[in-house]
Amino acid sequence: IRILAIETSCDETSAAVVENGTRILSNVISSQIDLHKKFGGVVPELASRKHMEKMDPVIQEALEQAGTTFRDLDAVAVTYGPGLVGALLVGVSEAKAMAYAMGKPLIGIHHIEGHISANYIEHPDLKPPFLCLVVSGGHTHLVHVKDYGHYGVIGKTRDDAIGEAFDKVARAIGLGYPGGPAIDRIAREGNPDAIRFPRAFMEDGPYDFSFSGVKSAVLNYLNQAKMRGETVVVADVAASFQKAAVEVLVKKTMKAAKNHGFDTIALAGGVAANSWLRESLGAACKEAGIGFHHPSMLFCTDNAAMIGTAAYHAYRQGVRHGLDLNAVPDLKLPE
């Protein structure tokens, strides 16, 4: 089964050709980071226009690299939510036009289902059920992966997503956009115990998260240092913030695994690329005798290969969408 997958939910225009869910024949990603950098974040209108410009060349390149023509494809898959509506619409319209013109099945995929499915690409032994910690620019979810296409949300953030917190802290300490990778890098030179930032463990929601407190604490720390005329050691702030955020993620994930009896944990989303998080969660799983999986770097942040992998399992389960498929900016994970 050969699937052409398209991803345009945020600021990456991506197309991939994926065979049987695990053979990535191509995975072309055109990032808009340089375009949004000067604004310190993604500007939705600019994102849509850039997707329009890049969509066709990116698909062409994906087909070429895969040595595939339209005729050899079994289906066209596309992210239809959640995400920026104008950005999603570019991919959805393109996928619909292609499916119609070629007379091929159309499969709409949930973006987070894509992130979770990135784990299947390099771990063919990984099969549901398992617990997945989804950490990205817009999500911080503990997800019970019941089966392909069937999910239960055990807990989630009540305010900022973890990636958002990384990006905002990075901006405050002058590291630019996107901040996650920059914090990861500079934190290696800092002391993670230099500053004690708060950890939010809510009594009334053992699996829910809150990152606005730690973010505000970092901003307060910076303001106070400035008022007192003290110099700030950026690497220490980055390392201390990262340690505080990751500690909460790891503790809550391990608690959920133990209380729900999961023997396997997977990590997904852009922040799954974070080296401190990978190490910490990996070590906690090892100690608890729990299996641990994460995608390699390339498949953590937005890409179409993960959508193609999710679509392969959806295809096998008979999922087909009509040409009335629409972009759904607040799409919920299918139960």
Give the binding range for ligand ATP (CB under 6 A) out of 32-40, 203-211, 267-275, 315-323. 267-275
CB-CB contact of 24 with 307 (8 Å): no
Cα separation, 258 vs 241, in Å, equals: 26
Query: Is position 249 an interface residue for Mg ion (rule: CB under 5 A)?
Result: no
Cα separation, 39 vs 202, in Å, equals: 34
Look at residue 181 and give the partner it binds from Mg ion, Fe ion, ligand ATP, none, a contact being a CB closer than 5 to 8 Å depending on partner kind: ligand ATP
Query: Is position 36 an interface residue for ligand ATP (rule: CB under 6 A)?
Result: no
Instruction: Number of residues interacting with ligand ATP: please give it, by CB under 6 A.
Output: 24
Q: Please select the residue that binds ligand ATP; options are 79, 136, 157, 210, rule is CB under 6 A.
A: 136
Check the annotation: does 135 bind a ligand: yes
**Per the structure block, which two tokens stand in for 46?**
């600019």
One DSSP character per residue, 186-240 reads HHTTS-TTSS-------TT-TT-B--HHHHHHHHHHHHHHHHHTPPP-HHHHHHH
Determine the length of the chain: 335
Check the annotation: does 111 bind a ligand: yes
CB-CB contact of 142 with 154 (8 Å): yes
Q: Which of residues 43-62 bind ligand ATP (CB under 6 A)?
A: none
Query: Is position 81 an interface residue for ligand ATP (rule: CB under 6 A)?
Result: no
Q: How far is the CB of 67 from ligand ATP (least distance, A)?
A: 28
Q: 15 or 99: whose CB is closer to Fe ion?
A: 15
Cα separation, 275 vs 280, in Å, equals: 9
Phi, psi of 115 (to 5 degrees): -55, -45
For residue 15, list its beta bridge partners. 6, 28
Q: 30 or 136: whose CB is closer to Fe ion?
A: 136
One DSSP character per residue, 34-82 reads HHHHTTTS--HHHHHHHHHHHHHHHHHHHHHHHT--GGG-SEEEEEEES
Q: How far is the CB of 177 from ligand ATP (least distance, A)?
A: 8
Cα separation, 315 vs 107, in Å, equals: 7
Query: Is position 303 an interface residue for Fe ion (rule: CB under 5 A)?
Result: no
Query: Is position 160 an interface residue for ligand ATP (rule: CB under 6 A)?
Result: no
CB-CB contact of 315 with 1 (8 Å): yes
Select from 137, 239, 224, 145 the least CA-distant residue to 192.
239
Query: Is position 10 an interface residue for Mg ion (rule: CB under 5 A)?
Result: yes
User: Which residue lies nearest ligand ATP, judged by its C-beta?
Assistant: 270
Q: Please select the residue that binds ligand ATP; options are 81, 91, 269, 308, rule is CB under 6 A.
A: 269
Q: 63 or 116: whose CB is closer to ligand ATP?
A: 116
Check the annotation: does 184 bind a ligand: yes
Query: Is position 151 an interface residue for ligand ATP (rule: CB under 6 A)?
Result: no
Check the annotation: does 134 bind a ligand: yes
Interaction mask 180-199, ligand ATP, x per CB under 6 A: xx--x---------------
Q: Which of residues 299-328 bind Mg ion (CB under 5 A)?
A: 302
Check the annotation: does 136 bind a ligand: yes
**Per the structure block, which two tokens stand in for 172?**
């405050």
* Type of residue numbered 69: T
Cα separation, 217 vs 21, in Å, equals: 43
The helix, strand and coil proportions of the chain, stated in percent and rounded to the nearest 5, come to 45, 20, 35
Return residues touching Mg ion (CB under 5 A): 10-11, 302
Return residues touching ligand ATP (CB under 6 A): 9-10, 83, 111, 115, 136-139, 163, 166-167, 178-181, 184, 269-271, 273-274, 301-302
Return residues touching Fe ion (CB under 5 A): 136, 302
* Binding-site residues for Fe cation: 111, 115, 302
